[in-house]
Amino acid sequence: MNLIFGVEKFIDGIPIDNCIEYTWNGIKPCDTELKIREWNWPNNDFSFKEIGTFSEPYVYPICMKSFDQAFTIDDKKSESCLDYISELALDDLKSGKSKLFIFHGYEGPSISDGDTILKDGDVLIEKLEKIGISSKNVIYCDANLNLPEYYKDIKLFGVCDTANTFWKFNMENTQNTYHVDDGKVNYENLIHGKSKIRPYYYLCYNRLPKDHRAYFITSLFNNDLIERGLVSFPSEKLALHCQIWPGEYLSKEHLKWDIDTSRVEELKSQLPFIVDKKRFENNYSETFQTIENYLDTYVNIVTESRCSDFANGKGDSPNLSEKTWKPIMNFHPFIIVGNKGVLKKLREFGFDVFDDFFDNSYDELDGVDERILAITNQIKRICNMNLDDLHKWYWSVFDRLENNYYNYYENFVPKNREYFIKNIMEFIND
């Protein structure tokens, strides 16, 4: 049986998001450029057809940027994206001719962050029942790799959406790679630099000054570690788009966890820290990488999109965004300022996290402040090394960095894509 996704309309031959017209406070949460299309490249494992023009069973996809916004979780009585399903498609969902696929991809929300079926699934079920769709006829997917198998009667599965997104982007823009077409020159430059000591110990990008990043940067600054790396972080003026209250930038309210703030004014006077991009309001996630930054540093300090206190295992996501994949795609060992268990998940996927060099016990700590202070101690240890010794260590493990690189491109992402299709096909055939 071929996998068919049914859509309400095409524009210029391109399938369009179902429920795209639904608006929440001026935002269209279902306007995703039909996110699942990324999963169909390059093999065309499934097809898109306009509902009403074919007779085969199909899947009705609703892709979304926000679960809470798509289903108006804050107001059970308000309309949601479900109210924008056409009568024809709704009849097919009620009769069983089609099944509803809810896809909340992107970076993988945890229950501690909200915006997930694990927190507000009961509201979804109520709204499904209101329009006559059985929750047994619904499958849900997001990027939380620790999703349970079911939420009541709704089938769940998690995939790493960002890994797929950036694999596709890089394979279409090969100058981001080291092994395909235009990207091969990057590998040549990398190997050519073997005889040259790099000027910096580490690389750490921070475009948005989220609470955990502000705390981390303050910790680095308190320990005089900023100048040892290539570090980006905006000034308050450059972070106006981040909705931090005036006067609270790098305050105790912003830093959130207890930390020495005696040098905060000194830190603020030195901001912004700029590495390559000067416009912090722009999103540079899916774009061309500045390869030179990786060639000038040895270790990547990843400050992930989410870093939360552990919620006792009830739906916490390891949260793997492009920020984690970029060092792997650029032959960098890494430390991750993120949610508890992120390294454990990477090990499960076959990635080397260099347990013999880093003290990765921070990955097992519940509190954000505990994790960040433990990570700061790791960075202090690395920065106390002689650069010659760090250079020798880097090249002594280069074969392991290559293994990580090819594991991402040739093993992990293809299996991730197979898993995505397998789960939907099994649900259809159940």
Average pLDDT over residues 237-253: 80
State the pLDDT at residue 306.
87
DSSP state of 200: -
Rounded to whole angstroms, the Cα distance separating 99 from 57 reads 8
Angle at 302 between CA 311 and CA 104, to 5 degrees: 55
State the pLDDT at residue 75.
76
State the pLDDT at residue 415.
96
The pLDDT > 90 percentage for the chain reads 81
List C-alpha distances in Å: 116 to 13, 85, 131, 315, 388.
32, 21, 21, 9, 47
Cβ-in-10-Å burial (0-12, 13-18, 19+) of 194 comes to: exposed
DSSP state of 244: P
State the pLDDT at residue 394.
98
Name the more confident of 333 and 207: 333
State the pLDDT at residue 283.
64
State pTM to two decimals.
Answer: 0.94
**Residue 284's pLDDT band (boundaries 50, 70, 90)?**
low
Is residue 113 predicted with pLDDT exceeding 70?
no
Q: How do the domains of the chain map onto residue ranges? A: 3-158, 172-411
Is residue 147 predicted with pLDDT exceeding 60?
yes
SS3 290: coil
Is residue 112 predicted with pLDDT exceeding 70?
no
State the pLDDT at residue 102.
98
State the pLDDT at residue 238.
82
**Cβ within 8 Å of residue 399, ≥6 positions away:** none
**Residue 281's pLDDT band (boundaries 50, 70, 90)?**
low
Is residue 384 predicted with pLDDT exceeding 80?
yes
Is residue 314 predicted with pLDDT exceeding 60?
no
State the pLDDT at residue 15.
98
Lowest mean pLDDT among 10-14, 54-58, 74-78, 404-408: 74-78
Rounded to whole angstroms, the Cα distance separating 377 from 223 reads 9
Rounded to whole angstroms, the Cα distance separating 285 from 289 reads 9
Rounded to whole angstroms, the Cα distance separating 216 from 301 reads 10
The tokens for 350 are 């076959």
State the pLDDT at residue 124.
95
Is residue 279 predicted with pLDDT exceeding 80?
no
Average pLDDT over residues 299-316: 81
pLDDT tens, residue by residue, 227-239 = 999 999 999 888 7
Average pLDDT over residues 156-171: 94
pLDDT tens, residue by residue, 51-91 = 999 999 999 999 999 999 999 887 777 899 999 999 999 99
**Cβ within 8 Å of residue 227, ≥6 positions away:** none
pLDDT tens, residue by residue, 254-277 = 998 999 999 999 999 999 999 987
